[in-house]
């Protein structure tokens, strides 16, 4: 037969478990709401794909700060003017380009939302995923490959109304690094584009593939 002391002990144990559950639950919620770290996403625009990288840190007072890289535009370390996390809602602004992002922290760990740029700009879907290997903007040096250097050429575009083929100059600046081959591209006939980073450079034997998204 249970004594009064036994009943009090069981009650105390139940309360202890209840308190522990609450503490663990709050800890999990707090952890889920921490968006500090490295995040990466791809913005699909009419001009092509632009990869975006966020570097988010959390201050001791719980507020966030972040910088953003745009590897495909050779832009690194742009300071976000505002970044907030309200419940699961993520908001940040980059005033230098009149950019605004509004999204939601999902249960799978991604941040899904829309990027808007300029007054009355169109909302473009943008999803950030956390990563431990963000795209590098700087690469450690490595011994030069046999194709390091500047390569120039001309490529033809489809004939215009006059039936004449268009001719465009292109220059590749290829360099070997500790992360593999990289390339910067000049397209002087296309608005004077200079030093545009290639998305990827791969080589197999005598064949080389340079991609620009």
CATH number for the domain harbouring residue 61:
2.40.128.120
124 and 59: one domain?
yes
54 and 122: one domain?
yes
37-95 pLDDT, tens digit each = 999 999 998 878 899 999 999 999 999 999 999 988 888 899 999 999 999 999 999 99
Its domain, for residue 207, covers: 149-211
Which of 96, 130, 164 lies at the terminal end of a domain, its last residue?
130
> How many helices and strands, by DSSP H and E, does the chain display?
1, 15
102 and 185: one domain?
no
156 and 207: one domain?
yes
User: Would you state the pLDDT for residue 85?
Assistant: 96
Q: Is residue 171 part of a domain?
A: yes
Ranges under pLDDT 50 in the chain = 17, 19-32
Could you give the number of structural domains in the chain?
2
User: Would you state the pLDDT for residue 22?
Assistant: 44
52 and 119: one domain?
yes
Q: How many residues does the chain have?
A: 213
pTM over 0.75: no
The b/e string for 76-87 (b: 16+ C-beta within 10 A; e otherwise) is eebebeebebee
Q: Is residue 4 part of a domain?
A: no
116 and 42: one domain?
yes
Backbone angles phi, psi at 2, to 5 degrees: -70, 135
């Amino acid at each position: 037969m249970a004594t009064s002391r036994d009943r009090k002990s069981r009650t105390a144990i139940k309360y202890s478990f209840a308190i522990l559950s609450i503490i663990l639950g709050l800890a999990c919620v707090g952890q889920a709401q921490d968006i500090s770290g490295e995040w990466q996403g791809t913005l699909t625009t009419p001009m092509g794909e632009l990869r975006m990288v966020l570097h988010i840190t959390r201050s001791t007072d719980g507020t966030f700060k972040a910088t953003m890289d745009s590897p495909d535009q050779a832009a690194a370390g742009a300071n976000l003017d505002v970044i907030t996390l309200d419940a699961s809602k993520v908001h940040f602004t980059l005033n230098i380009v009149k950019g605004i992002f509004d999204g939601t922290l999902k249960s799978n760990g991604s941040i899904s939302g829309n990027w808007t740029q300029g007054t009355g700009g169109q909302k473009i879907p943008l999803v950030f995923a956390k990563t431990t290997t963000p795209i590098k903007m700087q690469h450690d040096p490595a011994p030069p490959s046999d194709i390091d250097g500047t390569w120039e050429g001309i490529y033809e575009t489809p004939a215009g109304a006059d039936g004449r083929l268009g001719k465009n100059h292109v220059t590749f600046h290829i360099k070997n690094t500790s992360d593999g081959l990289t390339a910067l591209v000049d397209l002087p006939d296309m608005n004077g584009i200079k030093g545009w980073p290639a998305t990827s450079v791969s080589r197999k034997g005598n064949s080389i593939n340079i991609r620009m998204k």
